[in-house]
């Protein structure tokens, strides 16, 4: 009886610890959200929401300051789209090869190697892109500068590849074997089964991987600060320097006067970036739940 009481007491302690940790995550998320709104909204007392979002000029330190973040948002958009062009083929293609074609030995080597890319600090990617990749792109395409949206897209795409690959491979592994066996029984070959059965069944999971890869790309800071060129202008090509939202916050927060318009404008950029990533993650979660329900894996 005494042993049972001790066991129950320990279980209650563990339950309490994990409950506190779970609610602590919610508390920190709520705190971040409140601070972003509290510090970001005051800028709209000096500039309208429309002018802030669609203004073409970002000159926060001039005497006649302008707080238009359209060039900054477009910079983030261009770099993110370019990163998707890199990470989607690499990530999904790697996941398909690892799950469908690679043998046991290859799989045990390739997947850990791809996931190691996620453990490399972003500043290392940025330094590599700035010192090695940017000069190579400058020489190859005969550009005046190698630090541009294309270089940033390439580096972010490589950084997001492990996320896309890992989640897409998990989605492929969740497809029941009965789907494959039924396809073979109907006379389909390996490639027909992969294209017409396996990929459609894992489509929601692959879509989730792509959206989370997009969130990874749009939220990256150090790499884009180092390799994108830092020009807050509306981009007209991928070979033009840009300044994404994250790079703007990192580059200018240290020089912004606390409580000033510039300070609140940077928090407003962070608020918009937070809303973007929140929407992406909500979409990914909705798609993921539909995927699990579709395959009878529960909610």
The rounded mean pLDDT for the chain is 87
Chain segment 239-267, per-residue pLDDT in tens: 999 999 999 999 998 888 888 999 999 99
Q: From CA 15, how far away is CA 193, in angstroms rounded?
A: 45
Structure tokens at 135: 């000069």
Distances (CA, A) of 62 to 53, 70, 234, 250, 256: 19, 18, 19, 19, 12
Residues 261-289 pLDDT 10s: 999 999 999 999 999 888 888 887 777 67
Give buried/exposed letters for 160-188 (b at 16+ CB in 10 A, else e): bbbbbbbbbbebbeebeeebbeebeeeeb
Report the C-alpha dihedral over residues 249, 237, 139, 127, rounded to 10 degrees.
Answer: 20
The per-residue pLDDT for 4 is: 64
pLDDT (tens digit, 9 = 90+) per residue, 5-57? 667 777 878 888 888 888 888 888 899 999 999 999 999 999 999 999 999 99
pLDDT for res 115: 80
Token reading at 84: 């998707």
Tell me the pLDDT tens digit for each residue of 137-189: 999 999 999 999 999 999 999 999 998 998 888 888 888 888 888 888 888 88
**Nearest by Cα to 220 from 147, 116, 120:** 120
User: Quick check: 74 pLDDT over 70?
Assistant: yes
Token couple for 228:
């994108």
Between CA 105 and CA 154 the distance in angstroms is 29
- Segment 100-145, tens digit of pLDDT: 888 788 888 888 888 888 888 899 999 999 999 999 999 999 999 9
- pTM here is 0.84
pLDDT of 297 above 60: no
CATH number, span 49-294:
1.10.3720.10
- Geometric angle at alpha carbon 60, from 68 and 154, rounded to 5°: 65
| pLDDT at res. 2 | 59
Element (H, E) at 206: helix 203-218
- C-alpha to C-alpha distance for 246 and 37, rounded to whole angstroms: 17
């Amino acid at each position: 009886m005494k042993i049972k009481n001790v066991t129950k007491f320990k279980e209650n302690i563990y339950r309490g610890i994990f409950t506190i940790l779970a609610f602590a995550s919610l508390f920190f998320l709520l705190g971040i959200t409140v601070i972003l709104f509290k510090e970001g909204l005051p800028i709209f007392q000096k500039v309208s929401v429309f002018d802030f979002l669609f203004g073409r000029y970002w000159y926060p330190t001039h005497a006649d300051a302008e707080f238009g973040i359209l060039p900054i948002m477009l910079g983030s958009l261009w770099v993110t789209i370019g990163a998707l062009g890199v990470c989607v083929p690499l990530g999904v293609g790697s996941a398909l090869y690892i799950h469908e074609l690679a043998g046991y030995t290859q799989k045990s080597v390739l997947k850990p190697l791809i996931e190691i890319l996620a453990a490399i600090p972003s500043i290392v990617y940025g330094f590599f892109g700035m010192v090695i990749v940017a000069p190579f792109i400058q020489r190859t395409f005969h550009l005046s500068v190698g630090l541009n949206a294309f270089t940033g897209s390439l580096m972010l795409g490589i950084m997001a590849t492990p996320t896309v690959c890992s989640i897409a491979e998990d989605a492929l592994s969740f497809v029941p074997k009965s789907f494959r066996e039924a396809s073979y029984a109907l006379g389909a070959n390996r490639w027909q089964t992969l294209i017409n059965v396996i990929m459609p069944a894992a489509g929601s999971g692959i879509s989730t991987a792509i959206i989370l890869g997009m969130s990874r790309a749009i939220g990256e800071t150090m790499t884009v600060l180092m390799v994108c060129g830092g020009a807050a202008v509306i981009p007209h090509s991928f070979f033009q320097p840009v300044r994404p939202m994250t790079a703007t916050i990192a580059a200018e927060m240290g020089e912004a006067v606390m409580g000033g318009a510039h300070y609140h404008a940077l928090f407003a950029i962070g608020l918009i970036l937070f809303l973007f990533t929140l929407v992406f993650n909500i979409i990914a979660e909705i798609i993921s739940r539909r995927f699990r329900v579709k395959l009878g894996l529960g909610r």
